[in-house]
Structure formats: C-alpha cells, structure tokens
Amino acid sequence: RGNVVTKNELLDEVWGDRFVSEAALSSRVSAARRAVGDDGKAQHTIRTVHGKGFLFVAEVDGDAR
C-alpha cells in the first residue's frame, strides 16, 4: 500500500524470465479488480497511475491512514 508498482516490476516478479505481453498483464489486473469489486472506473482497491504502474489503495487491517 502506498507504493507504485511498475508494469515491469509486476512482469518480472510474477512471470520472471518468461515473455508475457502487456495485454496479458492488463487482463490479469482486470481479473484482480473484478475479484475485489473494482473496475476501470471505480478504483477503490487497485488504482492505475498513468504512465507509471499500479497502486494498491485499499485500507488494510491496522492501517491508520
């Protein structure tokens, strides 16, 4: 929470050395958003930071922000 994760960081950490297109990443982010009740417009949990990556913005237990 609070740190922007770039597309490259996600691709490297999740898929490692395997080639995965940005379209596949977008598809997985969309699936994650659906799983938590977000969509492209209502970004209450996973927010897109245009030109940078993604930001987890939901409150977490014990999070005082």
pLDDT of residue 22: 86
Q: Of 5-9, 39-43, 57-61, which one has max mean pLDDT?
A: 5-9
54 or 63, which is more confident? 54
pLDDT of residue 63: 57
- Output helix, strand, coil percentages for the chain, rounded to the nearest 5: 35, 15, 45
pLDDT above 70 for 8: yes
Cα 64 from Cα 18, distance rounded (Å): 38
Kindly report the backbone phi and psi dihedral angles of residue 17, in degrees, each rounded to the nearest multiple of 5, phi listed first.
-80, -10
